[in-house]
Amino acid sequence: MDHKMSRSPWVIHYDGSSCNGCDIEVLASLTPLFDAERFGVVNTGNPKHADIFLVTGSVNAQNLPVVRQIYNQMLEPKCVVACGICACSGGVFRDAYNVIGGVDRAIPVDVYAPGCAIRPETVIDAIVEACGILDQKEAVMRAGGDPLTVGGAATWDGGVELGEDGFVAAGAGDAPAVGDAPAGTPAAGDAPAGTPSASVAAKEAE
């Protein structure tokens, strides 16, 4: 019998430092109107029960350790979705004095789902995309491999570290350009070859 974890993915949501616009859209995707539950999605508040980590907002010195703590408490296999352009790259707050960058400055990101604010349909697309990666990681683990060789963790640069004073060293928090993602990282709602991805479409719209 096929026991794929993606048949009923449990998600946990954390608001890094967003304006709450993306948070409302993430919650909207779980309501009966958009009905993410039809894909088996269950919302949980316990990292130890979660398979997919939905993060909204950018990363700063205060929430970077929290994001990492939640991520480290999740069991493998697990996936991370950056929800909204702020989570992807820092967005309009990218140059703010207290913003380090997107979620990938703290933890590996498997799916980038841009938008300001992100639409519920995009959230659902991102979760479905993450489910596919979750299946890949699970297959690697069943074969005795390391799930960190699949998805965003395979191309992650390690992010940034905080100094003893609780701040990031100058230049260490430089994030990729808006809409950029590590090579080979899928964007929510990837389309056939020749069709712009969600990240490309967002970049072209600027």
The DSSP letter of residue 91 is G
pLDDT at residue 152 in the model = 87
149-206: pLDDT as tens digits: 888 888 888 888 877 655 665 555 554 444 444 444 555 555 444 444 444 444 445 4
Q: Mean per-residue pLDDT for 40-50?
A: 90
Q: Sign (positive/negative) of CA torsion 159, 174, 93, 96? A: positive
Helices within 46-196 (DSSP H only): 64-73, 85-89, 120-142
pLDDT at residue 4 in the model = 65
Cα atoms in the 13 Å half-sphere on the side-chain side of 35: 3
pLDDT at residue 3 in the model = 56
C-beta atoms surrounding 36 within 10 Å: 22
CB 81 within 8 A of CB 53: yes
